[in-house]
Amino acid sequence: MSVRVGHGFDAHPLVEGRPLKLGGVHVPFERGLDGHSDADVLCHAIADALLGACALGDLGTHFPATEGRWKGADSIALLEACTARVRDAGFEAVNIDATVVAEKPKLASYVAEMRARIAAAIGIDVADVSVKPKSTEGMGYTGDGTGMAAHAVALVRRRF
């Protein structure tokens, strides 16, 4: 069995007047992530991990912010499209391990729904998707509340 590992990272600033979406889930908060799409850092990091595992570039290569058609795009739909590219390259996702880095809001009560949305988008069992919220104890842009970040690792295998 041929397996590969990919790593993804994304970060966006938090701003007033935008909804906060993480892992395809609306999280009630007074600020949201700013970006060309819906700025879902969790989905973006996972998409980059999947693409990276297959040497298919990154999210910005496939969905450039310079193209207006991606303005406000749903990141779950982008994750589904990246998963299709992974399959077209002859691979399938085995599992995902992701970490969201944010001081606020507290995310633990949203993790199960995030895992379910991500698993459905990728086409794997929810037991194969891990999402962990972490804080930086007040340090840096994630700690002072000006931004949010996510890291993800994806394991894929070649389909025969």
| pLDDT for the residue numbered 130 | 98
What distances in angstroms separate CA 93 from CA 43, 73, 128, 145, one per listed residue? 14, 23, 9, 33
| 97, 152 contact by CB (below 8 A) | yes
* Domain residue limits at 143: 3-158
* Sign of CA pseudo-dihedral 46, 24, 92, 35: negative
| pLDDT for the residue numbered 73 | 81
Q: Is the pLDDT of residue 36 over 90?
A: no
| pLDDT for the residue numbered 1 | 62
Q: How high does pLDDT run on average in the chain?
A: 94
| H/E element, 25 | strand 25-26
Domain count of the chain? 1
CATH of the domain at 153: 3.30.1330.50
Residue 150, classified by CB atoms within 10 Å of its CB into exposed (0-12), middle (13-18) or buried (19+), is buried
pLDDT tens string 14-35: 999 999 999 999 999 999 999 8
Q: What is the mean pLDDT of residues 4-21?
A: 97
| pLDDT for the residue numbered 102 | 96
pLDDT tens string 50-108: 999 999 999 989 888 787 777 778 999 999 999 999 999 999 999 999 999 999 999 99
Rounded CA gap, 109 and 154, in Å? 23
pLDDT tens string 94-145: 999 999 999 999 999 999 999 999 999 999 999 999 999 999 999 999 999 9
Closest CA to 86 of 61, 119, 54: 54
